[in-house]
Amino acid sequence: GEYLKMADEGFGKISLNSKLLRYIKAAQTKSDISDDLKQELKVIKNSKFNLDGGKLANIPFTTVRKLHKFLQLDSSSDEPVVYLHELLEESDICFPKLEVPERNPELEARIQRLKGQQANREYANMTKNLGSTGLYSTNKAEPSFGADVKALNSQLIGVANFLITVIAGFAFGYKIVEYNMDVPDFALQLCSGMIFATIIFIADLYFFIKNYAMDAEEPKVR
């Protein structure tokens, strides 16, 4: 597949073994072998490519291809056809070590600078909603701490006015019955005070909730 294609292009070598060496010796005895292939096989057989103390050496894959084609063309009817995988079944395909080029220092510095800028942008996006005092915040419409305190005071004042109004309504209902009776009647006075306080409570609660809802929707409108 892809590995054989790369080996064909001269990127790979084959580890020599005894079986492959037998085919090399047999091919050298053929009379119709080409001079080029015969010379290549001779170099393999008699030089450093040969087996040395049982240690496997490597030979060019292109030479194995040439040997395979020659054996196919030379095979007679009484000799079995030699397939490529038979030549390679005891061998390993060895590819040269990939050489990683040295990185350009200027390019590396630029990459690091871009990484730093990207990290700053990501940090700014994460902190832009933390308030106007943030290091990278650019939203000038965000409320400051003083504005938050002012809004809290306004709400507390509203709650205090709400309670005072309800208490004053109760006192008004309680006293108005007392002033219109010759003999004080505590139960009737209490009932009158509760009625006035309840009416004022419901009215104030309605306006309090309405104003709070309007204040909450105001930033969205802006």
pLDDT in tens, 59-81: 777 888 888 788 777 665 456 67
Query: Range with the lowest mean pLDDT among 24-33, 133-142, 183-192?
Result: 133-142
Domain of 119, in residue numbers: 103-142
User: How high is the pLDDT of residue 101?
Assistant: 78
CB 68 within 8 A of CB 84: yes
The verdict on 12 and 90 lying in the same domain is: yes
CB–CB of 204/154 below 8 Å? no
The string of DSSP letters for 82-103 reads PPHHHHHTT--EE-PPP-PPPP
**Residues 152, 134 share a domain:** no
- Per-residue pLDDT at 143: 52
10 CB-contact burial (10 Å; exposed 0-12 / middle 13-18 / buried 19+):
exposed
**Highest mean pLDDT out of 24-33, 45-54, 155-164:** 155-164
Residues 168 and 204 in one domain: yes
What is the pLDDT, as a whole number, of residue 135? 47
Please say if the pLDDT value at position 55 is more than 60. no
Under a CB-based contact definition with an 8 Å cutoff, are residues 177 and 188 in contact? Answer: yes
Question: Vertex 158, ends 154 and 161: CA angle to 5°?
Answer: 135
User: How many angstroms separate the first and last alpha carbons of the chain?
Assistant: 66
How are strands ordered across the β-sheet holding 13-15? 58-60, 13-15, 93-94
Q: Are residues 128 and 158 in the same domain?
A: no
Contacting residues for 147 by C-beta, under 8 A, at least 6 apart: none
Return the ∠ at Cα 85 (arms to 79 and 90), rounded to 5°: 105
Q: How many structural domains compose the chain? A: 3
Q: Tell me the two tokens of residue 154.
A: 């306004």
Whether residues 133 and 150 share a domain: the answer is no
**What is the predicted pLDDT for the residue at 50?**
53
β partners of residue 13: 60, 94
Q: Are residues 149 and 122 in the same domain?
A: no
Q: Residue 202's Cα: distance from chain center in Å?
A: 55
Q: Do residues 119 and 133 both lie within one domain?
A: yes
Q: Is the pLDDT reported for residue 3 higher than 50?
A: no
Higher-pLDDT residue of 142, 99? 99
